[in-house]
Amino acid sequence: MGGIAAIARAAGHRVTGSDRNVYPPMSTQLEALGIELVEGYDAAQLDPAPDVVVVGNVMTRGQPVIEALLDRGIPYASGPEWLSREVLRDRWVLAVAGTHGKTTTSSLLAWILEHAGLQPGFLIGGVPANFATSARLGAAPFFVIEADEYDTAFFDKRAKFVHYRPRTLILNNLEYDHADIYPDVAAIERQFHHLVRTVPGGGRIIWNAADERLQETLAMGCWTPRESFAGHAVPQAYWTGRAAGGVADFSSFEVLEQGRPRGTVQWDLIGAHNMENALAAIAAARHVGVTVERSIEALHAFAGVARRMQLRGEINGVRVYDDFAHHPTAIATTVDGLRRRVGSTRIVAVLEPRSNTMRMGVHRDSLAGSLAGADEVWLYTPADLGWDPAPVLAALGGRGHGRSDVAVLARDLAQTLRPGDHALIMSNGGFGGLHGKLLTELARGRNPQPESK
């Protein structure tokens, strides 16, 4: 919604908005754009009446501003509906969908097009460092959008991505998520099938050939030429990759087209999942005319995305990272990527089970396994978590610790960290400012532990 506000502002509209507990980088981005933000959802913000209210999917019936909106008959639309009508209608839309990797892949694709001089518009669920903003109106015709399967609004229960009508579509992967909306993974597959139905026959679908659920989804019906990718050799994969340069963390990898080497990417990102994201972005960019060589050149200069393995600081030899991982698969791949980078050095994973699906306990049985690659695990366990974390901590043995207060977590964590440790903090929210609190505690020098031998 913050990105849509930025695009509306660039299109010449006066924009105000409301939300609760907004945190960086979105809060600072809105402030820099001069967009007035009202805390809370009081009906008074509709005075004077706006020309149109764009309603986010966090809003529900019963909120004062929503009840006043409906009673007064003020025009309203969902974010995806407004964007489709006002911005995307005459653009070549490149959409990135999937359970994981949407933000990074969208950022990669937007940067490749920018590097090629195409000045794309984009709307991304994070802030790419190459742009320092999550959204831009850009120049016609190309527009890159992170295509989310979450529902659209309280009055439109379709997935958001069905509004975008892409000509180029990336399907990264498909797993069960959003348990507050979808009863099972089959329901999510059906939504992805609806998205596939909107891609024209003259378009292109770039899909992960290693994902069985995507295979099932495309088997429901597909009327668009497809091009596949996979992070390893899969018989039907058109694009593949392999580690290069003598490193195992995929900070250097070779791009293969039908098994033929096309060039080597060397960049600051790590993990096989990011190599897969890059392969998808290269394929999508070529569909709009960017050569593979030009894409690889762009990737060398890709600066990453805020909150995706972002180093927040290093104090007393302890490196503190911020990462958005919140699903067991993403958690496991994030830890694996860091492990490949740091070798046997200690990784201390810190997790906030914040997403609706996580708080419902859907992933609790697989949570300990996803954290197995860390040397030590700290789990935030607030009183309203909704499920008992004891079995997860027990499965982690002596490596698992739980704390129900963020300040206490920061203090106790700081006391156990040693010089050389990598503290990997994972949450899809602000985590109560834990990153800053931990760095403050480390700076105070609370009982620094000796470096492990």
- Is residue 448 in a domain? no
Sign of the CA dihedral with 131 first, then 133, 136, and 141 last = positive
| DSSP category for residue 276 | H
In a domain, 451, yes or no: no
Specify whether 61 is located in the same domain as 98. no
The CATH number of the domain holding residue 392 is: 3.90.190.20
Residue 303 near residue 268 (C-beta atoms within 8 A): yes
Tokens read off for 198: 């909107």
Q: Is the Cβ–Cβ distance between 175 and 329 less than 8 Å?
A: yes
Q: Cα(31)–Cα(197) distance, rounded to whole angstroms? A: 39
Do both 319 and 269 map to the same domain?
no
Given 23, 50, 75, which residue is the final one in a domain? 75
Residues 265 and 333 grouped into a single domain: no
Q: Which residues contact 4 (CB under 8 A, 6 or more apart)?
A: 54, 79, 82, 83, 123, 135
Of 252, 281, 300, which marks where a domain is finished? 300
Same domain, 60 and 125: no
**282 shares a domain with 155:** yes
Q: Report the CATH number that the domain containing residue 247 is assigned in CATH.
A: 3.40.1190.10
Please report the pLDDT score of residue 6 as a whole number: 92
Report yes or no on 450 lying in a domain.
no
Residue 263 resides in a domain:
yes
Last residue of one domain, picked from the residues 262, 282, 300: 300
- What is residue 446's predicted lDDT score, i.e. its pLDDT? 52
Same domain, 208 and 288: yes
Based on the structure, what is the number of domains in the chain?
3
291 shares a domain with 333: no
Residues 295 and 315 placed together within one structural domain of the fold: no
Q: Which domain holds residue 19?
A: 2-75
Give the burial string for 200-213 (b: 16+ CB within 10 Å, else e). Answer: eeebbbbbbbbbeb
Torsion sign (Cα): 419, 333, 391, 187:
positive
- Residues with Cβ < 8 Å from 313, sequence gap 6 or more? 319, 320, 435, 439
Asked whether the beta carbons of 84 and 163 are under 8 A apart, the reply is yes
Distance between CA atoms of residues 152 and 449, nearest Å: 49
Predicted confidence (pLDDT) per residue in 413-448, tens digit: 999 999 999 999 999 888 999 999 999 999 997 544
Do 125 and 264 belong to one domain? yes
Per-residue pLDDT of the chain (453 residues; tens, 9 = 90+): 989 999 999 999 999 999 887 777 778 878 888 898 888 899 998 999 999 999 999 999 999 999 999 999 999 999 999 999 999 999 999 999 999 999 999 999 999 999 999 999 999 998 899 998 899 999 999 999 999 999 999 999 999 999 999 999 999 999 988 888 999 999 999 999 999 999 999 999 999 999 999 999 999 999 999 999 998 768 789 999 999 999 999 999 999 999 999 999 999 999 999 999 999 999 999 999 999 999 999 999 999 998 888 999 999 999 999 998 888 989 999 999 999 999 999 999 999 998 888 888 888 899 999 999 999 999 999 999 989 999 999 999 899 999 999 999 999 999 999 999 999 999 988 899 999 999 999 999 754 455 544
Residue 447's pLDDT is 46
Query: Do 69 and 96 share a domain, yes or no?
Result: no
d(CA 131, CA 119): 11
* Residue 135 within a domain: yes
In a domain, 364, yes or no: yes
Residues linked to residue 37 through DSSP beta bridges, in sequence order: 17
**Mind listing the pLDDT tens digit for each residue in 353-374?**
988 888 888 888 999 999 999 9
Q: What's residue 283's pLDDT?
A: 98
Whether residues 435 and 342 share a domain: the answer is yes
In a domain, 453, yes or no: no
Q: Is 452 within a domain? A: no
The predicted pLDDT at position 87 comes to 96
Same structural domain, 280 and 314: no
